[in-house]
């Protein structure tokens, strides 16, 4: 918590483990130790002057819900999620003023039900080779249930808790930006479909009560429908948008061109995303296979969201850099952290440019761009003993070799204290400067963790 206080000037966000609060879902009792655990986190953050943003779901749920009725593939989960949210609002809502219902539901739909890379690993060819699943249908069903679960939670909060607790309800989208592979109309149209199938897929229903037109055109009757009562419930159920933005990809049209790996399927929007043009990467590579350094994408994604969603408040809830680390690299070189400094400098400049662009439009409010949360977490690393963390985090199911996002170096094989990298000395003055300027609306802070880790 001391390290957080050094870096974070305003806020942090973390996710609640559903199974920690309700190990058996609605079929069992509330776990009092889970309530105590999160009370301690929230109270300690507030004691340090750090505002907690809290997510109710981050890719985990009680196993019994998956085994009993199929998790997000069954509408019954909407009521289970509502039950979790009610408990959390009752227990923590007097101190938590920013609630995130779901972190990256578009990522969950893709990597759990289309690619089958995350539990319960459901998919079908050509997207993957799983023991069960239907990649052409199940991602759409899962997203539909997640969106309706969000809508029910938001409705319940606004009717029963908003007046007394005064909080806000939002959601987080995983948000690549996209650029046409070729300067041709078909690829430009494919970019519009890519944005619709990845971002507007989850945000359009929450703002406008319907899926984007591009999805209706491609999917037809395969796309789930909202009833009239559903539309009334889901429309306008957002107080703010959170985005996790790391990079930008090229997009190739698959309607008039041949594509592989499912790009020619309706569920993918008849498009393919690519990292290179004529053998040249879209940006400087990082340790993450699909994450390239493309600062202009930050400005473009903000501008897209501001225009499409009429200036709704936005929080950049994740952004960060994971350099490629060599086994023979010295600790002193790691601590210099030159590439990370360049990354944040470029992305912050792009974000500032987006804000200036917003201010030029009289109908746009400068207050709509709020916080930038830096991703300070360690991703699983083959050299983890010689890299470090800001706070330890859960491990993903698939290790990412030689990657780390953290701002502190720790040697877990010794009693050596955590050492800040030089990136801290770049970030810290900007963060403190922003704190003093009360009218500023881009405040540098840090993501505490993806989920709790005990």
Residue 318 is a catalytic residue: yes
* H/E element, 446: strand 443-447
Rg over alpha carbons for the chain, rounded to the nearest Å, is 21
Catalytic residue among 104, 110, 189, 214: 104
Cis peptide before 78 (omega within 30 of 0): no
Q: How many DSSP H helices and E strands does the chain contain?
A: 16, 17
| Strands in 77-198 per DSSP E | 98-103, 168-174, 177-180
Question: How far from chain centre, in Å, is Cα 372?
Answer: 12
Closest CA to 350 of 287, 283, 285, 404: 283
Catalytic residue among 51, 138, 189, 318: 318
CA distances 200 to 2, 210, 253, 262, Å, are 38, 10, 18, 20
Question: How far from chain centre, in Å, is Cα 407?
Answer: 19
Centre a 10 Å sphere on the Cβ of residue 327 and count the other Cβ atoms it contains. 8
Closest CA to 86 of 74, 73, 99: 99
Residue 104 is a catalytic residue: yes
- Count Cα atoms within 13 angstroms, Cβ side, for 58: 21
Q: Is the dihedral of CA 48, 99, 244, 369 positive or negative?
A: negative
| Encoded tokens for 38 | 């999160």
DSSP codes of every residue in 19-55 = HHH-TTGGGS---HHHHHHHHHHHHHHHHTT-EEEEE
Closest CA to 255 of 270, 274, 273, 272: 270
Catalytic residues: 104, 318
């Amino acid at each position: 918590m001391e390290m957080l206080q050094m870096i974070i000037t305003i806020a942090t966000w973390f996710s609640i483990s559903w199974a920690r609060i309700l190990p058996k879902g609605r079929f069992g009792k509330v776990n009092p130790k889970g309530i105590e655990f999160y009370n301690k986190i929230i109270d300690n953050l507030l004691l340090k002057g750090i505002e907690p943003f809290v997510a109710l779901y981050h890719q985990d749920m009680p196993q019994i819900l998956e085994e009993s009725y199929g998790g997000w593939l069954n509408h019954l989960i909407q009521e289970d999620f509502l039950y979790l949210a009610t408990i959390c609002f009752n227990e923590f809502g007097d101190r938590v003023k920013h609630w995130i219902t779901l972190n990256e539901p578009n990522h969950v739909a893709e990597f759990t039900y289309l690619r089958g890379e995350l539990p319960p690993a459901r998919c079908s060819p050509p997207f993957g080779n799983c023991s069960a699943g239907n990649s052409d249908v199940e991602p759409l069903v899962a997203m539909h249930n997640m969106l309706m679960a969000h809508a029910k939670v938001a409705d319940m909060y606004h009717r029963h808790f908003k007046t007394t607790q005064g909080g806000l309800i939002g959601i987080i989208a995983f948000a690549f930006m996209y650029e046409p592979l070729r300067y041709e109309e078909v690829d430009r149209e494919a970019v519009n479909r890519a944005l619709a199938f990845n971002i507007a897929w989850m945000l359009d229903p929450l703002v406008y009560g319907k899926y984007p037109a591009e999805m209706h055109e491609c999917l037809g009757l395969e796309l789930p429908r909202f009833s009239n009562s559903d539309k009334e419930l889901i429309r306008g159920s957002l107080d703010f948008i959170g985005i996790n933005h790391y990079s930008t990809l090229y997009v190739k049209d698959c309607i008039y061109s041949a594509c592989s790996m499912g790009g020619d399927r309706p569920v993918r929007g008849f498009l393919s995303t690519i990292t290179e043009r004529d053998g040249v990467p879209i940006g400087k590579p990082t340790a993450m296979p699909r994450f390239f350094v493309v600062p202009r994408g930050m400005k473009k994604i903000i501008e897209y969201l501001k225009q499409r969603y009429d200036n709704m408040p936005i929080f950049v809830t994740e952004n960060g850099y994971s350099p490629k680390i060599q086994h023979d690299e010295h600790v002193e070189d790691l601590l210099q952290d030159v590439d990370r400094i360049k990354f944040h400098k470029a992305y912050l400049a792009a974000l500032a440019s987006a804000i200036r662009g917003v201010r030029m439009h009289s109908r746009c409010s400068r207050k709509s761009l709020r916080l930038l949360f830096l991703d300070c977490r360690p991703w699983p690393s083959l050299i983890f003993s010689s890299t470090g963390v800001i706070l330890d985090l859960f491990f993903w199911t698939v290790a990412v070799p030689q990657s780390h996002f953290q701002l502190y170096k720790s040697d877990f094989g010794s009693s050596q204290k955590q050492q800040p990298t030089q990136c801290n000395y770049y970030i810290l003055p900007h963060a403190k400067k922003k704190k003093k300027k009360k009218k500023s609306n881009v405040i540098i802070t840090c993501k505490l963790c993806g989920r709790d880790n005990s």
